[in-house]
Amino acid sequence: MSATREPRSAPPDADAAPFAGAGRLLFVVNDAIFFVSHRLPLAVAAARAGFDVGVVAAPEDRRAVQTVLDHGLAFHPWRLRRGGTNPATEAVSLLQLVGIYRRLRPRLVHHVAQKAVIYGSLAARAAGVPSIVNALTGLGWTFSDGGRGSVGRLVKRLHRFCHGRPNTRTIFQNPDDRELFVAERLAPSAQSRLIRGSGVDAEAFRPAERPVEAPIVVVPARMLYDKGIVEVVEAARLLRARRVPVEVRLVGPTDAHNPAAIPEATLRAWEAEVGVGVRWLGYTEDMVAALQQARIACLPSHREGAPKALIEAASCGLPIVTADVPGCREVVHHEVNGLLVPRGDAAALADALQALLASPERCRALGRRGRERVLAEFTIGRVVAQTFDVYRELLDERAPG
């Protein structure tokens, strides 16, 4: 949900070029927008550290592609639909990726998110790529409500094929996801690593200069049912019925490629409900401003990796109300920097929001501790350093004896 502007944080030792001469590193992601918002700082740091860095992604957003190029990174278009299910079209996408790998001959590939991980692993095996990093940013609907059918079973079989080889490392964003994959024998424990999130630019995402007095709750997320948006709207209705003043700002686009997308007509209908106080603002170029204008951040998602939106909110000093589920509880510790509520429980969500809205001092205390946690655990520099450790481990293993 972050704007596609240049990230300012980089590891302090990036110019030391520890990977000089290491060869080509390709980042493979579903779309360029996601790469810019979640992996651009890492790629820039890798280029400074000596890699020949390229990005493989669907080129649908021209501005995002231009941002990649403006940072001195090569861009290689990949015809991929994130929500595509047509077997013939998907086969073409896979074969194209095999061709890209054979043409560019990367020494290391870094696949990000589930579809890129699966297709990228298959392509890397076919093309003989020496070293593979698979980064799972969340397990999505196939491992929750949608994962009980044939598609979910197929995805799990593919994961079992993707993660087991010695030249592969799988990065998880929370221990629950890692433990699930190990328990179901989808990924060996020895090849799995834990890196919490993609990092936040704590210099850009700073607390507002003055505390927000208005009862504004920001929900920074794509408009998906499994982000808990329905529960937020129901909580807003409950608060209004209790005569608790509140304005809920839904900040994020809907996503036509996702089976859990909330139709725009539904979002507009929520806005039109008299007295509820829900506003859908859509995508914003300035998430910092959206967060700094709110008193509380809320994301009662059904499952996450390590949600960057909540890390950014914590960096801005906001108290957070979220669901007690994998990923969200990595960012929020109950009564430390926010409140955890049961998944899908709109009444508990309303109770938590009401409690914080009634106590500005409590909000400020939770917000301060959230900012402290971000500086200690979730900065871009920390994530880059941990990822470089994984690269180094793989390259050392493949180095000639």
Print the domain residue range for 256.
Answer: 216-377
For residue 1, is pLDDT > 70?
no
**Residue 145 binned pLDDT confidence (cut-offs 50, 70, 90):** low
* Cβ-based burial of 274 (10 A; exposed 0-12, middle 13-18, buried ≥19): exposed
The answer to whether residues 337 and 316 touch, using CB atoms and an 8 Å cutoff, is no
The residues pairing with 168 across neighbouring beta strands, listed in sequence order, are: 132
Helix, coil or strand: residue 59: coil
Co-location of 390 and 321 in the same domain: no
- pTM score, two decimals? 0.89
Whole-angstrom CA distances from 362 to 123, 333, 352 are 51, 15, 12
Is 42 a domain residue?
yes
Co-location of 92 and 169 in the same domain: yes
Lowest mean pLDDT among 155-164, 261-270, 374-383: 155-164
Is 67 a domain residue?
yes
Please name the residue that has the structure tokens 């003043």: 245
Structure tokens, 283: 């995508």
Helix, coil or strand: residue 217: strand
Structure tokens, 34: 């996601």
Q: How far apart are CA 121 and CA 382, in angstroms?
A: 26
pLDDT at 193 (0 to 100): 97
pLDDT at 60 (0 to 100): 83
Co-location of 177 and 251 in the same domain: no
Rounded mean pLDDT, 237-265: 93
pLDDT digits (tens, 9 = 90+) for 317-337: 999 999 999 999 999 999 999
Co-location of 180 and 242 in the same domain: no
Co-location of 229 and 369 in the same domain: yes
Q: State the DSSP code for 118.
A: H
Co-location of 372 and 246 in the same domain: yes
Quote the number of domains for the chain.
2
pLDDT digits (tens, 9 = 90+) for 59-94: 888 999 999 999 999 999 999 876 666 788 899 999
Co-location of 166 and 20 in the same domain: yes
Beta strands in 291-378 (DSSP E): 296-299, 320-323, 338-341
Q: How far apart are CA 318 and CA 334, in angstroms?
A: 14
